[in-house]
Amino acid sequence: MSVSSLHLPATFRQQILAHLQACLPEEGCGLIGGCAGQGQQLLPIPNQLHSPTAFQMQAPEMIAALLSFEQNGLELLAIYHSHPTGPLWPSPRDVAAFAYPGVWTLIAAPTSTGWRIRAFQIRSTKIHPGKILWQNESTVRTRFVLL
Ligand SMILES: [Zn+2]
């Protein structure tokens, strides 16, 4: 698979950043379900480490999210988390802990021009930056599910 871009509703950007900023100073995390590179369902997950420099998704909520994707005919498309003090790049820990080949890693971090989100593919410890194409809501059918 050589997908180099990910399509997400622009509303996901606002929701992801609102969630991650609400988690400050801790890292926040969540999952995006979709198919064929198109994000359709966004689910914030609690960070059970409650750490400003690391995250681990709380297992029951993560399992519930994956089941929800499956029930909606979606696959796990992306895992997002924040780096509250940067950088806008996967950490060595992120790379070492990554266990979902083909699934996008989204990192959000503050920059000199505000918070940004970048997408990466992590393959056998190599980091490949990708592109997020943010879409207006009118162009895509989306589902929002809140836990
Ligand atoms: Zn990280």
| 26 noted as active-site residue | no
pLDDT in tens, 30-68: 999 999 999 999 999 999 999 999 999 999 999 999 999
Interval between CA 143 and ligand 1 midpoint (Å): 26
- In contact, 127 and 91? CB cutoff 8 Å: no
- In contact, 8 and 144? CB cutoff 8 Å: no
> Domains (ranges, CATH) in the chain?
5-144 (3.40.140.10)
Residue with structure tokens 């100073």?
Answer: 25
The residues, ordered by sequence, that sit 6+ positions from 59 with a Cβ below 8 Å of its Cβ are 48
Q: Strands 29-35 and 75-82: what pairing?
A: antiparallel
Interval between CA 51 and ligand 1 midpoint (Å): 11
Interval between CA 68 and ligand 1 midpoint (Å): 25
Q: What is the pTM of this model?
A: 0.90
Which residue among the candidates 26, 27, 61, 137 is catalytic per the annotation? 27
pLDDT > 70 in the chain, percent: 90
Interval between CA 31 and ligand 1 midpoint (Å): 14
